[in-house]
C-alpha cells in the first residue's frame, strides 16, 4: 500500500500533523547562568568597594577581587 492510502499524509513519510520532539520541547542550555550578588566591602580608610560575585561562590573569589582592587601583590 502507498503511504497516502494508509492515511499518513504525503508519500514521502512526512505528515501534516507532527509532534514536537523532545529537543524542541525543552530549550538547550548553552551555559549555566549563575545568580550573582552585589558585595559591598568597607575598607580601612572608610571607603566602600562594590563588586559582583556568584551567589554560591567561594569567599576566596571575593577576597581575590578586593586584593586586586587594592593592587596587593602578596595576599598572605
75 in a domain, yes or no?
A: yes
Give Cβ neighbours of residue 40 (< 8 Å, ≥ 6 apart).
Answer: 48, 49, 50
Q: State the pTM of this model.
A: 0.55
Query: Mind listing the pLDDT tens digit for each residue in 3-16?
Result: 555 555 555 555 55
Q: What confidence score (pLDDT) does residue 43 get?
A: 97
Q: Which of the residues in the chain have pLDDT under 50?
A: none
Q: What confidence score (pLDDT) does residue 76 get?
A: 77
Domain count, the chain: 1
Q: What confidence score (pLDDT) does residue 63 get?
A: 96
CATH of residue 45: 3.10.20.90
Q: What confidence score (pLDDT) does residue 11 get?
A: 52
Q: Which domain holds residue 57?
A: 34-76
Strand partners, 51: 39
Give Cβ neighbours of residue 38 (< 8 Å, ≥ 6 apart).
Answer: 50, 51, 52
17 in a domain, yes or no?
A: no
Amino acid at each position: 500500500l502507498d503511504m497516502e492510502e494508509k492515511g499518513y499524509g504525503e508519500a514521502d513519510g512526512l505528515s501534516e500533523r507532527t509532534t514536537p520532539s523532545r529537543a524542541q520541547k525543552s530549550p538547550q542550555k548553552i551555559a549555566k547562568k549563575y545568580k550573582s550578588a552585589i558585595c559591598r566591602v568597607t575598607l580601612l580608610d572608610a571607603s566602600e568597594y562594590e563588586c559582583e560575585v556568584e551567589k554560591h561562590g567561594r569567599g576566596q573569589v571575593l577576597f581575590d577581587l578586593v586584593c586586586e582592587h587594592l593592587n596587593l601583590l602578596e595576599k598572605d
